[in-house]
Amino acid sequence: MWHLYQHTLCPFSRKVRFLAAEKGVTVELVRELPWERRDGFIELNPAGQTPVLSDGTLVLIDSVAICEYLEETVERTSLLGSGAAERAEQRRLIAWFDQKFYSEAVVPLLSERMFKRVVARAAPDAGVLRAAGRAVEGHLDYFDYLLERRRWLSGPAFGMADIAAAAHISVADYLGGIDWDGHDSTRQWYSALKSRPTFRPMLGEKMEGLPPPPHYDKLDF
Ligand SMILES: N[C@@H](CCC(=O)N[C@@H](CS)C(=O)NCC(=O)O)C(=O)O
């Protein structure tokens, strides 16, 4: 049995959970708060980061490595695409979310709205939140541009780029960081993702002391 050490507002954990569900792989969730640096967790992953996937013998670390492991070992429709060019485009967009969207939008939101409220008990910095809002707006404009030309983010087929995107966007949305007005193409695409039975369970989870905005788990938002 696979155990996934994860945190509900960690986008990398959400990406692995969504992908595992799409692949039909059952994982038992272990709640891990990385900032607590629990000894047993540091032994498992010296980097102290979620997610970690382990079956008790094999320990897989880093969401990209875990997703590619599941892609290579589970016989199901490929979520990376069939040709080299398709896979390159999927990987470009996965990196976009894991690096660019994460650092410009998710990190400031997590730090100001989650960490400061739940852990540090400090007031959020309005300037940091404003800059994150501007960054999100620029990203949404780009996703609209792509989705006006493609059915899914990387092309005609649903794939790992959509999974990575939904993981990061859902965390930003939970933290009230997304203004959907004027972004109908991205909103339509995200609504289709929200309705997938493999993704919906995550939208029902709440972090104690930090409720999401009312539209967060609605299909019509
Ligand atoms: N490249 C890693 C990034 C994982 C990551 O940054 N996880 C965050 C939580 S979302 C974390 O554990 N941060 C704690 C730390 O870096 O010490 C992956 O894709 O899994």
- How confident is the model over 162-192, as pLDDT tens digits? 999 999 999 999 999 999 999 999 999 999 9
Q: Look at residue 61 and give its three-state secondary structure.
A: strand
Is 97:170 a contact under the CB 8 Å cutoff? no
Q: Which domain holds residue 59?
A: 2-73
CATH number at residue 17: 3.40.30.10
CATH code where residue 112 lies: 1.20.1050.10
Q: How confident is the model at residue 136 (pLDDT cuts 50, 70, 90)?
A: very high
Buried b (16+ CB within 10 A) or exposed e, 96-108: bbbeebbebbbeb
Atom number of ligand 1 nearest to Cα 106: 10
Answer yes or no: is pLDDT of 77 > 90: no
Q: What are phi and psi of 26, to 5 degrees?
A: -85, 130
Which atom of ligand 1 lies closest to the CA of 47?
A: 17
- Ligand 1 pocket, CB under 6 A: 10-12, 34, 48-51, 62-64, 98
Residue ending a domain, choose from 73, 103, 125: 73
**Cα–ligand 1 centroid distance for 92 (angstroms):** 19
**Residue 150 belongs to a domain:** yes
Q: Kindly give the number of the ligand 1 atom that is closest to the alpha carbon of 11.
A: 10
With 90 as the cut, is the pLDDT of residue 76 above it? no
